[in-house]
Amino acid sequence: MSSPTPKPDRAGLRLVAFAGGLVLALAAGFGVGRLTGPVSAPRSASAMPNMPGSTAVDESQPHSHGMTTTGTADQVGGLALSASGYTLHPRAYTAGQPFTFTVDGPDRKPVTQFAINHDKPMHLVVIRRDLSGYQHLHPTMAPDGTWQVDLTLPAPGIWRAYADFVVNAASGQVPLTLGTDLPVAGAYQPGELPAAGRESTVDGMSVTYEGTPQVGATAPLLFRVFRGGSPVTTLEKYLGAYGHLVVVREGDLGYVHVHPEPDLAGGAVKFWLAAPSPGRYRMFFDFQVDGAVHTAAYTVVVS
C-alpha cells in the first residue's frame, strides 16, 4: 500500500511568497534611484517646521523627477496612486476648501519624514486633462502627516494632481511622483491644444527656447527671457534653481519634472531632457524676475 501524499507546507509557501515580494520591492526601490538621477547623501540637515531632522536632496547636478521604476526610458510618472510601497491618499476635493492628502508608507501609516527637494518637502502640480490650467503649489504638512494646500480648480472637468516628493526612508532617500484625478462637476468643454511654437509671451516678457526633445536621447533645452526686445539679466533663483520645467504628455498625462544646470549658460537656463515617447506635450517653464514667479507654456511635438 502506497504512502499518503504529503500535504504542502502552506506556511513555507507563504514565507517563500513573502520573500519574493520583498525582493521585488527592493528592486523597485533601486530602480527609482537609478531613473531619477543620482540621489547621494544629504547635503545638510536643515530642520523644517513639523519635520524634525529633515534633510536636503543633493541638487548640484541637473536631474528630473517623474520616471517610474520599470527601468525603461519610455515610462513616465504620476500615472498611479501607489509605487514602491507608498500610496497617495487624497481627500475629496471641495471648492472653497483646502485640498488635503496623506502619503502612506509600507506600514500603512502616513509618512512624516520627507527630504527637502528644491527648497520644499512637497511639490503639488495640477493640470486639467486638456493640458490647461497649470498650477505649481507647495502644501504644508501637519505633525500627523496630513498635507494641506489652498487649491482652486476654475473650470469643470477632470484635473490631474501630481504629488512630487522624496521620502527619507530607513534605507535611504526615495524619490516618487504619485498622481490622482480631481473631478469638478459641470459641462466639460475641452480646449484645443495651442499650436507648437518656440516662443511664449507672459506678463510682458517673451520667453524662447532652443533645442529639440528626442526620444531615447537626452538633449539640451535652453530658455531665454526677453523684455522690450532685450535679454533679461536679472533672473533670480526660484526654489533653489534658475528655473523649473514640467512636461506633461497629451493623452495619458504622463509627467516629467526637470531641473536645470546650477549656473546660467550664456544667460540661458539650460535643461537636459529625454522625451519619453513620440507625441504632443505641454512644457511649462517656471522662472522668477523681480521677486515674482512667471510661467511660460509651450506645445511641443516629438516625432
Mean pLDDT, residues 264-284 taken together: 96
Residue with cell 476654475: 154
Amino acid identity, position 292:
A
**CA contacts within 13 A on the Cβ side of 99:** 23
Q: What number is the average pLDDT over the span 109-135?
A: 96
For the chain, percent of residues with pLDDT exceeding 90: 73
| Phi and psi, residue 85, nearest 5° | 90, -5
Total residue length of the chain:
303
Higher-confidence residue of 19 and 77: namely: 77
Averaged pLDDT of the chain: 82
Q: Mind listing the pLDDT tens digit for each residue in 151-161?
A: 999 999 999 99
Task: Please tell me the class of the 12-186 domain.
Answer: mainly beta
199-302 has the same fold as 12-186? yes
Q: What percent of the chain shows pLDDT beyond 70?
A: 75
Please report the pLDDT score of residue 216 as a whole number.
87
pLDDT (0 to 100) of residue 240: 93
Lowest mean pLDDT among 29-43, 53-67, 99-113, 130-144: 29-43
pLDDT at 76: 86
* Range of lowest pLDDT (66-70, 178-182, 268-272): 66-70
Domain parsing of the chain, residue ranges: 12-186, 199-302
List CB contacts of 190: < 8 A, sequence separation 6 or more: 129, 130, 157
Higher pLDDT, 37 or 270: 270
Q: How far apart are CA 28 and CA 45, in angstroms?
A: 27
pLDDT surpasses 50 at 46: no
Q: Are 283 and 298 in contact (CB under 8 A)?
A: yes
How many whole angstroms from its chain centre is CA 173? 15
Q: What CATH code is assigned to 199-302?
A: 2.60.40.1930
Quick one: average pLDDT of 24-31?
A: 33
pLDDT at residue 38 in the model: 29
Mean of pLDDT values over 224-241: 96
Residues 6+ apart with CB under 8 A from 132: 155, 191
Alpha helices in the chain (DSSP H): 10-35
Using alpha carbons, select from 291, 276, 285, 262 the residue that is nearest to residue 199.
Answer: 285
CA distance linking residue 180 with residue 191, whole number of Å: 21
User: Residue 143 pLDDT more than 70?
Assistant: yes
Query: Which tops the pLDDT comparison, 204 or 1?
Result: 204
DSSP state at residue 253: -
> Taken in order 79, 80, 83, 88, is the CA torsion positive or negative?
positive
pLDDT above 70 for 123: yes
Give the closest residue to 184 by CA, choosing from 98, 93, 101, 248.
93
Highest mean pLDDT range out of 42-51, 75-84, 118-127? 118-127
Task: Mean pLDDT check: name the lowest of 66-75, 94-103, 108-117.
Answer: 66-75
Q: Which three cell numbers stand for residue 124?
A: 503639488
The pLDDT, as a whole number, for residue 27 is 35
Give the single-character DSSP code of 131: S
**Band (74; pLDDT cuts 50, 70, 90):** very low
- Range in 39-53, 104-118, 263-277 the model is least confident about: 39-53
Tell whether the model's pLDDT for residue 4 goes beyond 70. no
Could you tell me the three cell numbers for 179?
A: 498622481
